Amino acid sequence: MKKTISQIFKHPVSRVLTQTVVIAGITFALTEITFRIYNKINPSFVFRDRSYNRWRRKPNARDFNFNLNSHGFKDVEFTQEKPPGTHRILGIGDSFSFGIVPYHDNYLTLVEEGLNAEGKNVELINMGIPGMGPEDYLSLLTNEGLILNPDRIILSFYIGNDFIDNYLLSLDKDEEIFYTVAFFKSLMALNAKFKGTDYNPQNLEYDDDKPTLTDEAYREIVVNASRMFDIEATDGMFLSMFEDAMRDIREIKRICDSRNIDLSVVIIPAEVQVDPNLQAEVIQTFKPDDPEGFDFEYPNRLLRDRFEEYDIDYIDLLDDFREASQTDRLYRPNDTHWNIAGNRLAAELIERHLLKQNLETEAGSGE
């Protein structure tokens, strides 16, 4: 005789299984809600957030001898309302703007100090967030920057990865529907790959001479990022990424013009562009018999030509960094970022450029 459904669920084993499924479902739902609330308050890369918050630092977190502000930016606290008579500048960029050096050695901090030492009443807010790209720069400006009524935007564009960042972001569309699944996937991935590190800005003194990566790991990064300099290989894919980045920069320019906000783009060179030894390694890897096949200034020329076409103010640091690199190290060993000397040189060049433009000391009319 066939059992009815009600009889099946009256069986002790079936009842236990049913209760287990219900409890598991409730637990999963509560966990999912908890993760979503947590990620909303404290965004984390674990949940594959495609917004610019995916690598944002925690508010008030310790960074060497400095506490980040309540927005997670590497700067002091600021008010939404601009102080009277203040020329407010927003520094927007990725990990270069955020900086791997202590706050007081960061180039944006130094620019602010230098301009004020020249008698300019300037507030420069560092809004750098690691991992951002041109699409994120535009989002950050519209979501959090415009409300601060800035007079100028300093947009830092890093040659090393800002062309490809939008492309990589577009590939990351396979976000997990459930945050709980994403959490456990990330946990397993970290457990499989993590080998330990002694880098902890909270507890360590900054060491300007300490390599960040091994020689092998850093050389791999440099070589992989150098295909844009191969004249023959720089085909439609790179030019497509270039145009994608330019669309975001042009939109930033359009927004700034509509609100009477000045815009200056700082073109940050990759170390391979200023270091002949790294260039030799790249050429040896790709074209040992055709050293002329590489043009390490090619992306900069593209940017300069386009910026001039669209009347976008820019500061290309390549020539000055190339010259200074002949006698001084400007990048942290085995790291894509500037050391303290690199930050100081960048600050001097940016400050000089702004002073030549007769930087206004009074607030602009941005709305």
Token digits of residue 4: 């009815």
For 91, the 3-state DSSP assignment is strand
User: Which residues in the chain come in under a pLDDT of 70?
Assistant: 1-16, 19, 24-25, 28, 31-32, 34-50, 169-203, 233-235, 359-367
Question: The pTM is what?
Answer: 0.79
Q: How far apart are alpha carbons 43 and 46 in whole angstroms? A: 9
Q: What is the pLDDT of residues 82-119, one digit of tens each?
A: 999 999 999 999 999 999 999 999 999 999 999 999 99
DSSP structure string for 167-190: HHHHH-----S-HHHHHHHHHHHH
Note the Cα 344 to chain centre separation in Å: 20
Token digits of residue 76: 């002091």
Q: What is the pLDDT of residues 119-135, one digit of tens each?
A: 999 999 999 999 999 99
Residues 6+ away with beta carbon under 8 Å from 332: 100, 208, 210, 211, 212, 338, 339
Q: How far apart are alpha carbons 312 and 250 in whole angstroms? A: 8
Judge whether 208 and 99 are in contact, CB under 8 Å.
no
Q: How far apart are alpha carbons 269 and 66 in whole angstroms? A: 27
Token digits of residue 235: 């085909």
Q: Rounded to whole angstroms, what are the CA distances from 299 to 13, 112, 282, 302, 313?
A: 68, 29, 16, 5, 17
